[in-house]
Amino acid sequence: MKKTVFILAAITLVFASANAKDKKNKKDVAPVAPVNVLTNTLDSMSYALGTNVGNGLAKNLKTLPDGKYNQDLFIKGFETALKGDSTLIKTEAVNEFLNKYFQKAKENETQKLKLEGQQFLAANMAKEGVKTTASGLQYQILTPAEGPKPKATDSVTVHYQGFLLDGKKFDSSIDRGQPITFPLNQVIPGWTEGVQLMSVGSKYKFFVPYNLGYGEQGTPNGGPIPGYATLIFEVELLGIKPFVEPAPAAPAKPEAPAKAKTAKSTVKAKSKK
């Protein structure tokens, strides 16, 4: 099914490219009335499927590294393979080449994010009101408050928003309309450290280096946070639930041994029958 879908999508691109070239070469030719190819249900389904897959493929192609590819060579490679002709890259080498290409592109992208994060934090630490801890976490107090501060073992209730350096919002309890409660020692290190600086009612802005966030890998399964990403959070502390050490369980009392029946009682029981 996947192969069929890909073929249909590629055919759609072939036809689109061919039509574009044909129009370019025949600017002075009188326009030809479009041919109605939807003469039956099968034709209609085929056209609709091709259009649907073509639209989807066009969107996916935009996710290529830097969104770049050579459409002419893409179409040429497809046509050559479809005809069974000899391709410029051997078929058995195609997957290996693509894997290496995308792996290298991913490494380049993550290194770019790493450098951007380092440059951002270096400039940000010099801004008024921004403080930097020994770990490299940066924070800014937006709304001060006085009072007890949570420990790493406590649970806290917060409202928050999270942003990438390009301003893209990747998470927000405010948008969901529901604050979140969690043990402070079960989140990213930047949060564990940063929220311990806060008192209930305060609001801080945290600038979290990748090593205090989601590390080199980012969020798993294609999540919204890429590897090496420096993150920005706005956090409002709403409540603290101190950790309570559970009381040790009382030792179980040994059961009293059952009394053995005496010979006399056994005899009496028999005599009553």
Question: What whole-number distance in Å separates Cα of residue 39 and Cα of residue 263?
Answer: 102
Q: 156-195 burial by CB neighbour count: b if 16+ within 10 A, else e?
A: bbbbbbbbbbeeeeebebeeeeeeeeeebeeebbbbbbbb
Task: List residues with catalytic annotation.
Answer: 160, 170-171, 188, 214, 233
pLDDT at residue 264 in the model: 47
> The tokens of 10 are what?
């590629």
Number of Cβ within 10 Å of residue 225's Cβ equals: 20
Domain topology for 131-241: Chitinase A; domain 3 (3.10.50)
96 to each of 3, 89, 262, how far by Cα in Å?
Answer: 18, 11, 85
What separation in angstroms does the CA of 13 have from each of 53, 117, 131, 203? 10, 38, 53, 52
Q: List the beta bridge partners of residue 156.
A: 182, 240
Tens digit of pLDDT for each residue in 246-264?
767 767 666 666 655 544 4
pLDDT tens by residue, 127-140: 999 999 999 999 99
- pTM for the predicted model, two decimal places: 0.63
Q: Which three-class secondary structure state does DSSP give residue 182?
A: strand
Q: Where in the chain is the domain with CATH 3.10.50.40?
A: 131-241
Q: What is the pLDDT of residue 29?
A: 54
- Cα distance between residue 173 and residue 194, in whole Å: 18
pLDDT per residue, tens digit, the chain (273 aa), is 444 444 444 444 444 444 444 444 545 555 655 556 678 888 888 888 888 977 887 888 787 877 788 888 887 887 787 778 787 888 888 889 889 988 888 888 888 989 999 999 999 999 999 999 999 999 999 999 999 999 999 999 999 999 999 999 999 999 999 999 999 999 999 999 999 999 999 999 999 999 999 999 899 887 899 999 999 999 999 999 998 777 677 676 666 666 555 444 433 444 444
d(CA 110, CA 214): 13
Residues near 71 by Cβ (< 8 Å), separated by ≥ 6?
13, 17
Residue 94 CA to its chain's centroid (Å): 28
Residue 187's SS3 state is coil
- Maximum Cα–Cα distance for the chain, whole Å? 126
